[in-house]
């Protein structure tokens, strides 16, 4: 099981905090992004950086900003990184804000959060992501989306789409979503999401994502009841419904590219838009290929078992 290796006390206290939230930042080898993320969180009540044994200066940078550094060792299974943090860390505040190391909060969003959490009737808020890719803001290509990133402690949890996971998959929740008990709403101001540090890193991370997604699409959805795929559900449910339908179509990676680049006007974002839409299609191709690989291995194993039993 993962364990807390080290906690560095933040200089901010509940009495001096301008924003009374507990921020959880997921990180691994994020020295190029983390300073930007933490600089925007200086006025947060407390900040935990959940690191995965980074080989770069990620922990040192986190400490330099007064963050509480926790080491997470993933050995497969459930819970994964952020859900584990919510279950095990001594969070100080009533509200939790989940941010990735390549995201940054704006002053406008911070002010809006301050007002929003004063509403006793709402337990969670969706925040949109403004995608920055290869130095450009993507405004088309279906690149923007909403995530439920702010919620009351004890009222939100990640859905578990696949319990039988291994270390070849991402150690934190990727396409799992937070499910909140009670009413939710949306904030107007976005998080800035710097989606790519380098294309090599982007490819490496998405290789792990496709390992996970191939397994989920083959077997995980049978046990996922929190956010079932639905055409008229939330954005996450609608995307899942469309993805399930699209994956069953021959040549779907090409169709996905055409949809994003032409129908969703990705070409208006120039070369970064072309690369982004292309990578999304390649990601689908990788996932479908791994699904085929898994099916082939399962078929061979079944035939081998049948031959041993004489059936």
pLDDT single digits (tens) 31-89: 999 999 999 999 999 999 999 999 999 999 999 999 999 999 998 888 999 999 999 99
pTM (predicted TM-score): 0.86
Would you state the CATH architecture of domain 19-309?
Alpha-Beta Complex (3.90)
Q: For position 1, what pLDDT does the model report? A: 45
Integer distance in angstroms from the first to the last C-alpha of the chain?
Answer: 41
| 164-215 pLDDT per residue, tens | 787 778 788 878 899 999 999 999 999 999 977 789 988 988 998 999 899 8
Cα 140 to the center of its chain, rounded Å: 20
Q: Rounded mean pLDDT of 301-306? A: 86
Q: Rounded mean pLDDT of 95-123? A: 97
| 10-25 pLDDT per residue, tens | 443 344 448 999 999 9
The residues near 280 (Cβ < 8 Å, ≥ 6 apart) are 256, 257, 260
Token output for 69: 């550094």
Q: For position 221, what pLDDT does the model report? A: 52
- Cα 234 to Cα 239: distance, rounded to the nearest angstrom: 9
In the three-class reduction of DSSP (H, G, I as helix; E, B as strand; rest coil), residue 261 is classed as: helix
> Which letter does DSSP use for residue 190 in this model?
P
The residues near 198 (Cβ < 8 Å, ≥ 6 apart) are none
Domain boundaries, the chain: 19-309
Q: For position 239, what pLDDT does the model report? A: 79
Helix axes 235-247, 270-309, angle to 10 degrees: 60
Tell whether the torsion through CA atoms of 169, 179, 217 and 294 is positive or negative.
positive
């Amino acid at each position: 099981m993962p364990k807390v290796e080290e906690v560095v006390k933040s200089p901010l206290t509940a009495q001096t905090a301008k924003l009374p939230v507990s921020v959880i930042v997921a990180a691994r080898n994020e020295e190029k992004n983390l300073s930007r993320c933490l600089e925007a969180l200086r006025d947060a009540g407390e900040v935990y950086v959940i690191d995965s044994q980074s080989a770069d200066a990620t922990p040192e940078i986190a400490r330099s900003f007064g963050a509480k550094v926790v080491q997470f060792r993933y050995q497969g299974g459930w819970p994964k990184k952020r859900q584990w943090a919510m279950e095990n860390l001594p969070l100080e505040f009533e509200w939790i804000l989940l941010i990735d190391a390549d995201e940054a909060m704006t002053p406008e969003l911070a002010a809006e959060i301050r007002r929003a959490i004063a509403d006793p009737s709402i337990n969670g808020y969706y925040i949109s992501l403004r995608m920055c890719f290869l130095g450009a803001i993507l405004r088309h290509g279906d690149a923007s989306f909403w995530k439920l990133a702010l919620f009351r402690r004890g009222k939100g949890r990640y859905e578990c789409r696949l319990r039988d996971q291994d270390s070849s998959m991402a150690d934190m929740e990727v396409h799992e979503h937070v499910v909140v008990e009670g009413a939710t709403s949306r904030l107007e101001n976005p998080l800035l999401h710097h989606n790519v540090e380098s294309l090599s890193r982007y490819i490496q991370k998405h290789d792990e994502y496709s390992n996970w997604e191939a397994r989920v699409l083959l077997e995980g959805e049978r046990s996922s009841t929190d956010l079932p795929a639905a055409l008229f559900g939330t954005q996450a449910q609608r995307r899942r419904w469309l993805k399930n339908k699209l994956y069953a179509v021959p040549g779907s990676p090409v169709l996905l590219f055409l949809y994003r680049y032409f129908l969703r006007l990705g070409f208006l974002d120039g070369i970064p838009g072309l690369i982004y839409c292309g990578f999304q299609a390649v990601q689908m191709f990788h996932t479908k290929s791994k699904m085929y690989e898994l099916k082939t291995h399962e078929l061979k194993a079944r035939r081998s078992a049948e031959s041993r039993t004489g059936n």
